[in-house]
Amino acid sequence: MNKLVRIDKILAQSGYGSRKDIKKMIKDGRISIKDQVISNLGHKIDIKDAAFLSIDGEPVKIYESLTFMLNKPAGYITALEDPNHLTISEFIPEKWRNKGLFPIGRLDKNTEGLLLLTNDGQLSHRVSSPKWQIKKTYWLIVQGKPFSEKDQKKFAKGFRTIDGSEFLPSELNIIDGFEAELTVYEGQYHQVKRMMKSTGREVKYLRRIQIANLTLDPNLELGEMRMLTKEEKSELYKLCKLSTNEFQ
Ligand code: URA
């Protein structure tokens, strides 16, 4: 037997508002299934019938969850609203506004590159938390002194700084003296800059190029975003030990 799922859950997860918003729509008689108006706030349906739901007579498009990749430019803060700064919300196309999307983790104002946006809180938590060991790779250019094998060893072991910060093991791939790729498995505040500072370097340029299985799409111009493909999304959920089929 298929599992029955509450309508407010299905529609909220598909980006039609919060569960509270959906309940209000039910109260207002705006939601129907197969032309039958729904009146019970806790109404459950077979997920296979979700395609027959409509709001104000318009068929709905069901998404289990929404996840996008954005190529973030420098000069924008990773927030949806801010009275004093430009925010990444201006890169969200009209169609995807008010769908509950929020950024996963944070890139600094002057950092560029791969930023994920989702409406799935559990996914966001797992991508960010060190517990799930989701890798994030950065391309960076530093000034101070060139990278050496000694740095690679130090980073590989993980280290603690004199001010008490602790960094888990990471992988430093030296490209050319002052240029490297750094892969970390956690998401501490200003992490890369602090790791570099503690080894006597200053980050001059920082771009995130990978999260888990996802590499920044070279076709995305700065400020452009696109939805993850089905394959990308299913691999990401797999790596986060989550099921994409959240309605089941
Ligand atoms: N580490 C930083 O220092 N800054 C970022 O934006 C991301 C990781």
- Residues forming a β-bridge with 141: 179, 205
DSSP string over the chain: -PPEEEHHHHHHHTTS--HHHHHHHHHTT-EEETTEEP--TT-EEEGGGGGGEEETTEEP---S--EEEEEEPTT-BSSS--SSS-BGGGGS-GGGTTS--EESS---TT-EEEEEEES-HHHHHHHHSGGG---EEEEEEEESS---HHHHHHHHH-EE-TTS-EE---EEEEEETTEEEEEESS--TTHHHHHHHTTT-EEEEEEEEEETTEEPPTTPPTT-EEEPPHHHHHHHHHHTT--S-TT-
Ligand 1, pocket-test mutation among 191, 195, 208, most atoms within 8 A of CB:
191
Name the pLDDT band for 2 (thresholds 50, 70, 90).
Answer: low
Mean pLDDT score, 4-22:
87
Query: Which residue, by CA, sits nearest to atom 4 of ligand 1?
Result: 190
Q: Does a structural domain hold residue 246?
A: no
Q: Does a structural domain hold residue 244?
A: no
CATH value at residue 35: 3.10.290.10
Give yes or no: residues 201 and 185 share one domain: yes
Q: Does a structural domain hold residue 245?
A: no
Name the pLDDT band for 247 (thresholds 50, 70, 90).
Answer: low
User: What pLDDT does 243 receive?
Assistant: 78
Ligand 1 atom having least distance to the Cα of 136 = 8
Name the pLDDT band for 1 (thresholds 50, 70, 90).
Answer: low
Q: Which two tokens stand for residue 238?
A: 């797999």
Ligand 1, pocket-test mutation among 142, 192, 197, 199, most atoms within 8 A of CB:
192
pLDDT in tens, 25-40: 999 999 999 989 999 9
| Other CB atoms within 10 Å distance of the CB of residue 56 | 10
Mean pLDDT score, 149-156:
97
Domain count, the chain: 3
**Range of the structural domain that residue 160 is part of:** 135-211
Q: Residue 248 above 50 pLDDT?
A: no
State yes or no: is 108 an active-site residue.
Answer: yes
Is pLDDT larger for residue 15 or for residue 156? 156
Pairwise CA distance, residues 197 & 187, whole Å: 16
pLDDT in tens, 88-133: 999 999 888 877 899 999 999 999 999 999 988 889 999 999 999 9
User: What pLDDT does 98 receive?
Assistant: 75
Q: Compute the distance from residue 110 Cα to the ligand 1 centre, in Å.
A: 9
CATH value at residue 152: 3.30.70.1560
Closest among 215, 146, 203 to 178, alpha carbons compared = 146
Name the pLDDT band for 47 (thresholds 50, 70, 90).
Answer: confident
CATH value at residue 89: 3.30.70.580
